[in-house]
Structure 1
Amino acid sequence: MGTDGGGIKDGPRVVTSMGTAGGVSPVSPIHVYTQREVYGTVGASVTLSCSFWSSEWVSDDISVTWHFQAEGSRDSISIFHYAQGQPYIDDVGSFKERMEWAGNPRRRDGSIIIHGLEPSDNGTFTCDVKNPPDIVGKSSQVTLYVLERVSPRYGVVLGAVIAGVLLLVAALVALGYGSRYCWRRRQERLQRRLSAMEKGKLQRSAKDGSKRSRQAPVLYAMLDHGRSSKKPKAGAGDSRKERK
């Protein structure tokens, strides 16, 4: 360490962003983004996506770190690290032979792939990115859920059950529409019969009325003729009286 003319020692210098007025300029924090939840099946592969935004250009000193905290555990272990343009898979844990680097820092991508998922992979994965001098920021977490793979036989049985239920529902719907159609046809037939019967009654009543109207003058004429035949002749009575 050297001294200046005033006898003040030169200590370690901290590089900061200084404004023209001598104050510290505000620093934009780096932002890291991941999905909240990811689902996979035993034996399959899954991609854990991690993207970031930085106010600085992506430098050669950029670093990406992944940590894993198993489900039900309080300890977090480092499983992956990217630095100086090279990916490094940590030897700790069971991911060392099942992990693949899928990111591209130039495209602001720090994703990884985990192959051969196991039930013990259930847990929380944390992605942390540093892009000097932009090193202030908050990491992002994604929770992985590993599901048991459904056996083909069980899938076939389940598919058959679902297909049977759908066919049953379709048959019930068709039966309902068919019965409703038949009921409507019966109602239409009954209405036609009733209307035909009503028309027949009207026609019969009209015919009966016309017959009665025709027969009434004839009956009246017959009655008048009978009455006239019952009256005694005037000439016959007078002759009898004169004879006596």
Structure 2
Amino acid sequence: MAGFNLLILSISFCVFQSAAQSHQEGGSLKCVSDYKSTLSCAWNTTGKLRESSCRLHFTWTVSRRQKKLQRSETCELQDSPSDPLMQSCSVIAGGNQKWQTFTSITVITSRVKCGNSSQDAANITFKPSENVKMHPPFAPSIVDSTNITWSLNQSLISVYLQERVFQIRFKRKEKSWEDARVISEFRGQEWTRLNEKWLEQDAVYETQVRVKPRVHAGEWSEWSPVTEWRSQVGN
């Protein structure tokens, strides 16, 4: 469940750009998927319906032995502690994060229902294959101060996302991430070597890595957990 929790955190209070093929009504409802089994949406309520509890209803159709079956999931929208206008929630389709639930033809309809109203407060139709946000990688590993390696939780990766690009960033521990050096993009490569000229001997550094699909439309994952090290090389 750790990967699912990371994805929930990554979407909880952000508004995402959906693919051009998506259609929505009722304001800023944005959804992403790991293109495997997880669906996550964030809704900008624009201050409406604050007295009512709201839920997200997801529906889609799957084909089984030449039959079309309707599937659905729901989740309770939760308030953002940092933005009073934002609500969000996530679901695991079928209840199993390791199942490959979605395909290239899957189309999801997401509807916001509030209180006892029969009307949608907002809705959007989108394809998981065109609105991808992967789970972040594990924390990187550091070898000999300059070699950085990383890996993904393979059980959370869609079978359709075998082509990926990575980006890393690193900085002095006392600096802000806004001052970090960013290195990209590594196509399928899960390692890099830092130039010793970028480092100062005995200084403490921090690094993170993130991933996104190379072929399918999507966005960067959240950054991985931080890895810290003390450089044994450098100026």
| TM-score, normalised by the number of residues in structure 1 | 0.34
| TM-score, normalised by the number of residues in structure 2 | 0.35
Give the number of the structure whose residues are more often helix, by fraction: 1
Give the number of the structure whose residues are more often strand, by fraction: 2
Which protein is bigger by CA-based radius of gyration?
1
